[in-house]
């Protein structure tokens, strides 16, 4: 069900550009690195997160723009710009963000770390003892695994892995064979650490580090004996990492994907990063090798891969320079009973991660694996990680003879290899493994356990806004609903039958499902509020999501605003809607919360004449989620839990004046002005829900 984009039906001035709003989000993340109220090592981590985000931005979004430009595509983006125009704007903005990122690193964060005794040693400032230790390290640990490649007719330019660290070397002189090409390439093996810690007695501080690039720069001449090194320059190339699979040609998705994955490392180049000391001649030579233009060149002062600094905060034992540690809490209902099935029969349970633990979800599946009354387990797997207790529980359940069905999404970007491995392991123990519906990513988060009780089958289930991934459950904000509600259970059972079998779409009682009913039902809910407002009644929409792009939804929100509906949108990242335009979106406010945790929950609230309908979902308001993915949106039926979601997921965020950014009609964001005490939603939730909530409340007060 691939649709022609709908934005062509609407005025281009109604929409902001997707790529530029995504870069605006990177600026908000970068602002965390600049914020002196954020603990110092966490500021370094935010700096690295920006680099990681930009890598993916180039690998996917910029790569897509370049493909459109090469193909001469005549289509324009929602805001009316051609691919070339968007690329030109993106290039200017990305260069500016990266320049600011390195300025922060070298002028602010590294000096502040040095003041705290966490020092990154420059190769020009080493003592003789430090230089000797580094020389010994190079000869012992680095030199044996390096393969310098001199460039000549017998040694063409090597294949360079995506995002790998490399060095271009300019040379004078002739080698033993009389060759004098003048150029060589040294590739740093991925096994080598990019940051090396020196012994404290030698560094003069407890935490002294040196970059691998500095080690190699100091000793690169040892790789080219008898020749003179005129220059040695780091470089790094970013490549197109999107996978293309022709659904008309594919007979076996898993085999096709396994064949395609290795090529991800060698896709078309989209960006070249070089050290700012790199000569123009060498930069031009490298651009030519990668078929890139000058606009694709990014000169950086120092290291070309800041992502490698992400591990440093974990290596440094300085709690006062990090966020206060916390222990996720548990709902009272789960503390009282051991059996999760007994608990769910008594009532629904809501989990709010990471403030509350992900462990109940693991317990749910682990108890199901070991429970003699459980006959079947069904689950969707989008992201779960390489080492997953949850997947181990499924394997154990299958080994014990239970019917285990896993709908594994093989096309979960950058998790394809892990998901293939889990699919293979599950099949080895007799589990049913299916890969959903080709052409539609299975992005829904659902797990169902079927248990035989008193002569009949009873369904227990978990529905979530986030992945079954214990690590991200500590970093992302998400909601999960655990229940034994019979009507919801029947709906979930029908969804699994769709995913594993064949048949027509069957109406569901409570669930809204993409690609069938989710989009239409969202429009209906928005238009219902619009009609109420036109009739003079009270109306209200609050929606929280990661991205807002789908044009029909945006236009429906504009109509609602013109009718008088009060609309608050909490959009973490990309937002194409323009709030506050006179006569169009006066009643719409857009804010973004950027803090310690990545905001990931999708929540949709409609006043609905006082019924206060509230839904949680795996789907953002994007075309791909509505029409090219299998998604679920589920209501919170328990009034007590509905109040919790309304408070914890929406109202606290609307009152946030600590981590809130407000958006204007031009797509520009500004920090919300703080008057009086600071109120951060994430801080309040830690203080309310974490197991060590008293400690977190103290930390919140100190930070304020």
Q: Which residues are catalytic?
A: 443
Question: Is there a contact between 682 and 596 (Cβ–Cβ < 8 Å)?
Answer: yes
Question: Is there a contact between 617 and 634 (Cβ–Cβ < 8 Å)?
Answer: yes
DSSP symbol at 28: H
- The closest of 435, 17, 404, 387 to 252, measured between CA atoms, is 435
How far, in Å, CA of 366 to CA of 347, rounded?
20
Instruction: Record the tokens describing residue 528, joined without a space.
Output: 């219902």
- The closest of 148, 145, 144, 222 to 179, measured between CA atoms, is 148
Grouping H, G, I as helix, E, B as strand and the rest as coil, residue 579 is: coil
- The secondary structure of 455-480 as a DSSP string is TEEEEEEEEESS-S-TTGGGTEEEEE
> Would you call the peptide bond into 354 cis, given omega within 30 degrees of 0 as the criterion?
yes
How far, in Å, CA of 299 to CA of 494, rounded?
54
Q: Report the DSSP beta bridge partners of residue 457.
A: 452
3-state helix, strand, coil in the chain (%, to 5): 45, 20, 35
- The secondary structure of 632-689 as a DSSP string is EEEE---HHHHHHHIIIIIIHHHT--SSEEEE-TTS-EEEPPP-SS---HHHHHHHHH
How far, in Å, CA of 437 to CA of 571, rounded?
29
Question: Is there a contact between 321 and 41 (Cβ–Cβ < 8 Å)?
Answer: yes
**Burial of 621 per CB tally in 10 Å (0-12, 13-18, 19+):** buried
How far, in Å, CA of 321 to CA of 38, rounded?
9
Question: Is there a contact between 272 and 287 (Cβ–Cβ < 8 Å)?
Answer: yes
């Amino acid at each position: 069900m691939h649709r022609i984009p709908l934005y062509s039906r609407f005025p281009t001035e109604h929409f902001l550009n997707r790529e530029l709003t995504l870069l605006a989000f990177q600026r908000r993340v970068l602002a965390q690195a600049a914020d002196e109220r954020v603990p110092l090592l966490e500021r370094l981590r935010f700096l690295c997160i920006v680099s990681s985000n930009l890598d993916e931005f180039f690998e996917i979004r910029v790569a897509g723009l370049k493909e459109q430009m090469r193909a001469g595509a005549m289509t324009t983006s929602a805001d009316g710009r051609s691919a070339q125009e968007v690329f030109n704007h993106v290039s200017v903005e990305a260069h500016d963000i990266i320049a600011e990122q390195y300025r922060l690193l070298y002028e602010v964060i590294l000096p502040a770390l040095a003041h705290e005794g966490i020092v990154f040693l420059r190769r020009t400032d080493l003592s003789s003892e430090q230089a000797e230790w580094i020389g010994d390290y190079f000869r012992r640990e680095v030199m044996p695994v390096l393969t310098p490649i001199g460039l000549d007719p017998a040694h063409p330019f090597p294949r360079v892995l995506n995002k790998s660290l490399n060095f271009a070397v300019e040379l004078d002189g002739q080698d033993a064979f009389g060759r004098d090409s003048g150029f060589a390439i040294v590739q740093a093996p991925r096994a080598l650490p990019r940051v090396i810690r020196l012994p404290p007695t030698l560094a003069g501080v407890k935490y002294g580090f040196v970059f691998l690039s500095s080690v190699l720069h100091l000793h690169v001449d040892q790789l080219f004996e008898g020749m003179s090194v005129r220059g040695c320059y780091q470089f790094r190339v970013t490549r197109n990492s999107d996978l293309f699979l022709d659904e008309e040609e594919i007979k076996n998705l898993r085999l096709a994907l396994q064949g395609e994955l290795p090529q991800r490392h060698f896709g078309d180049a989209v960006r070249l990063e070089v050290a700012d000391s790199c000569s123009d001649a060498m930069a031009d030579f490298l651009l030519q090798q990668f078929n890139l233009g000058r606009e694709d060149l990014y000169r950086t002062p120092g290291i070309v891969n800041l992502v490698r600094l992400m591990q440093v905060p974990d290596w440094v034992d300085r709690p006062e320079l990090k966020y206060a540690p916390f222990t996720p809490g548990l709902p009272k209902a789960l503390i009282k009973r051991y059996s999760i099935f007994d608990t769910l029969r008594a009532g629904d349970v809501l989990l709010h991660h990471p403030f509350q633990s992900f462990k109940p979800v693991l317990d749910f599946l682990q108890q199901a694996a070991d429970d003699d009354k459980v006959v079947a387990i069904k689950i969707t797997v989008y992201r779960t990680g390489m080492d997953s207790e949850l997947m181990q529980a499924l394997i154990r359940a299958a080994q014990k003879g239970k019917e285990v069905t896993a709908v594994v999404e093989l096309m979960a970007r950058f998790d394809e290899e892990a998901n293939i491995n889990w699919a293979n392991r599950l099949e080895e123990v007799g589990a049913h493994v299916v890969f959903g519906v080709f052409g539609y990513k299975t992005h829904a988060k659902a797990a169902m356990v079927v248990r035989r009780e008193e002569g009949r089958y009873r369904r227990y289930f978990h529905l979530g806004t986030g992945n079954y991934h214990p690590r991200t459950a500590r970093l992302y904000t998400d909601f999960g609903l655990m229940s034994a509600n019979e009507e919801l259970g029947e709906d979930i059972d029908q969804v699994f039958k769709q995913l594993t079998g064949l048949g027509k779409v069957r109406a569901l009682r409570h669930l809204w499902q993409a690609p069938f009913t989710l989009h239409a039902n969202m429009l209906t809910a928005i238009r219902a509020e619009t009609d109420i407002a036109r009739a003079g009644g009270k109306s209200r929409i609050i929606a929280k999501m990661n991205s807002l792009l789908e044009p029909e939804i945006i236009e429906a929100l504009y109509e609602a605003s013109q009718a008088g509906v009060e609309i608050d949108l909490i959009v973490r990242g990309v937002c194409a809607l323009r709030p506050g335009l006179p006569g169009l979106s006066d009643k719409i406010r857009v804010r973004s919360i950027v803090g310690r945790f990545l905001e990931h929950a999708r929540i949709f609230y409609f006043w609905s004449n006082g019924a206060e309908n509230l839904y949680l979902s795996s789907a953002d308001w994007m075309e791909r989620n509505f029409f090219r993915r299998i998604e679920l949106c589920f209501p919170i039926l328990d009034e007590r839990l509905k109040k919790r979601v309304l408070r914890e997921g929406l109202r606290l965020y609307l009152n946030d004046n600590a981590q809130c950014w407000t958006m204007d009609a031009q797509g520009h964001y500004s920090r919300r002005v703080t008057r009086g005490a600071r109120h951060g939603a994430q801080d309040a939730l830690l203080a309310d829900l974490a197991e060590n909530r008293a400690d977190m409340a103290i930390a919140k007060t100190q930070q304020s």
